Amino acid sequence: MSVPSFAGGPAVLFCPADRPDRYERAAASADVVVLDLEDGVGADDKDVARRSLRANPLDPGRTVVRVNAPGSPHHGVDLDALADTAYTTVMLPKADGRFVGPLLRHDGVPYAVVALCETAAGVLAAPALAARSDVVALAWGAEDLFASLGGSSSRGADGAYRDVARHARSTVLLAGRAAGKPVLDAVHLDLGDADGLRAEAQDAAACGFAGTLCVHPDQVPVVRAAFAPSDVEVEQARALLEAAARTSAGVLRHDGRMIDAPLLAHARAVLARAGKEES
């Protein structure tokens, strides 16, 4: 059976599923909401979270549910709770090579899965996860990754990711894009560091990530602005593509630069992020 694709804008916001008072605000602010049954909910509040999720439906086309990981005593109960909803996409935390079968609804239809590669095993399994037909997107996470490594901090004193985190980020991005799947960048946990979030989101957009995971509504406009090309970038991309359309040469000179097919693809990506049609 077919699995729906992952669609949405660049700002993907986590919302604890045991806080239904936050659902509507999250849905109104973000491009995609992730109702969280895992880390965002304490062990004693899991049942409340599941009841809240069933009783307060959001648009299933813009909502993902993060279930607890396979092997957790909460995993099967989460899926049972989801069977009573219209949600069709789940985020699978700590996804790795042990994820051997599709996650099925009670009617046998597979859930679309956003595979969260956030352990050493998960990062190494990213190519295999990306190749699965039921996996519609990948994401990565630094903090659980470092916990799986026995590490103590994913960032250095300057706030930048350590080399192993950057390697994991690149590995998941390459695996996802090689399979034609969108990839989401990790959360930025320093809520007061809008400049750091902006810089990371701008880098994510330039590298080809589809969006950035957010943990607070105030991060949403920062991420959206970071993913949106400037008017200057849009006009430069449009002018480049128009110049290319006027020649049949494989290579052209434009504004002092040598332009070939990869740079034309870059320009099309800028227009796509801006929501503009190619001229």
DSSP string, 169-226: HHHHHHHHHHTT--EEEPP---TT-HHHHHHHHHHHHHHT-SEEEESSTTHHHHHHHH
Q: Token pair for residue 27? A: 């849905």
Taking alpha carbons only, the member of 77, 96, 191 closest to residue 144 is: 96
| Cα(168)–Cα(142) distance, integer angstroms | 8
Feature table: binding site for substrate: 66, 118
Feature table: binding site for Mg(2+): 118, 144
Feature table: binding site: 66, 118, 144
Q: Token pair for residue 91? A: 């985020």
3-state secondary structure of 91: strand
* 241-271: b (≥16 Cβ within 10 Å) or e: bebbeeeeeeebebeeeebeeebbeebeebb
Q: State which H helix or E strand residue 232 sits in.
A: helix 231-245
User: Looking up tokens 């943990």, which residue turns up?
Assistant: 215
